[in-house]
Amino acid sequence: MGKLFVILGIVVGLVPLHIKADNQMVNVYSFRQAELINPLLKEFTAQTGIKVNVVSGKANVLMQRLIDDGKNSRVDILLTTDVARLEQAKKLNLIQPVVSQLLQSNVPSQLRDPEHFWVGLSIRARAIFYAKSRVNPANISSYQNLIEPKWKGKICSRKGEHFYNRSMIASFIYNYGEKWTNNWTNLFVNNLAMRPLGGDRDQLRMLVMGKCDVAIANSYYYGMLSSSNKAQDRQVYAQVGIIFPSNDGIGTHINISGVALTSAAKNKSNAIKFIEFLTTKRAQQYYAEFNHEYPIRSDMAPGQLLTSWGKLLADKNAVLQLPKYHELAKEIIRKNHW
């Protein structure tokens, strides 16, 4: 609890003071560190004259801050991850709808709220990774392959309760039903090489360390290793391969990063311009090249690095359904001790 208060204190200290609604600025809460999107912020300011103030922090911390500040919040935009978090913000009346023809044109209907409360900005694929020296990728083409007896004691994963895995299980419930998903989770846990620990990049590192042969992780972490300043991480990238699984024609589980206009927005017009800017081809290209996430726009290729990984058949149809099954997914994960 003390740690949470410290983080909140940091966030509060970073919020710009004495903000006026008629200023040429927009204020953003972002799950992503400001330095990672600085080129985009500078380009938007150069085009519009609108300055972007960014406060970065953990997604749950930023959400709680919006709740605590209520109508007194100075924040105009929420940038966060996972459709379930965006839907939570909607249910808590923390965000408001934005009706924009440009957003409707740029963002596919499967990746935006039908009531216009939020839009997706990038696609994150939950892929299967393997140690190139020990695994023939021809032996894995689906998530279902991971529960086969031959993988017993050979799989690495972070904790099942994490949002990434919970959303994946929610997609399984939607696509295959509760019974199938419970059986899959039980057998998957039995195939783990060790008790889940660490984040997604740790799972890829453990493949190279020989602690497991196969792992599940988000694809952009793989990309981050490829461009890491650490030679050891770049070596991990070189020794690990990626597979985009497909079950019965249903593609790889994906989730999104997304954006919404806060209910308390004081710079509404500026905020809408910034949200629209983030869906332009230039901004989407940046997400692909520097953050290694797939563009949400259907009229854009993912870029050279992501294309080199193979074709991604994304399960876009499940995205809007994920929040409906999050609680059941949580129960299944707990019941099977993942």
Rounded to an integer, what distance in angstroms lies between the CA atom of residue 58 and that of residue 34? 13
At 252, list the tokens: 């790889």
10 Cβ contact list (under 8 Å, min separation 6):
57
Task: Give rounded-to-5 percent helix, strand, coil for the chain.
Answer: 50, 20, 30
Pick the CATH number of 2-122+254-301 from 1.10.3720.10, 3.50.50.60, 3.40.190.10, 3.40.50.300: 3.40.190.10
Domain ranges in the chain with CATH number 3.40.190.10: 2-122+254-301, 124-253+312-335
End-to-end Cα distance, the chain: 24
Any bridge partners for residue 106, and if so which? none
pLDDT digits (tens, 9 = 90+) for 69-96: 999 999 999 999 999 999 999 999 999 9
102 Cβ contact list (under 8 Å, min separation 6):
276, 279
At 96, list the tokens: 């408001």
pLDDT of residue 34: 73
**Which parts of the chain have pLDDT scores under 70?**
1-22
Give 34's DSSP letter.
Answer: H
pLDDT of residue 23: 77
**DSSP codes joined into one string, 181-246:** HHHHHHHHHHTBSSS--S-HHHHHHHHHHTS-SEEEEEHHHHHHHHT-SSHHHHHHHHHEEEE---
pLDDT of residue 16: 40
Q: Is 262 exposed, middle or buried (0-12, 13-18, 19+ CB in 10 A)?
A: buried
Rounded to an integer, what distance in angstroms lies between the CA atom of residue 69 and that of residue 62? 11
pLDDT of residue 316: 97
pLDDT of residue 11: 37
pLDDT of residue 268: 97
Rounded to an integer, what distance in angstroms lies between the CA atom of residue 247 and that of residue 142? 5
CATH superfamily for 124-253+312-335 is Periplasmic binding protein-like II (3.40.190.10)
Q: How many residues does the chain have?
A: 338
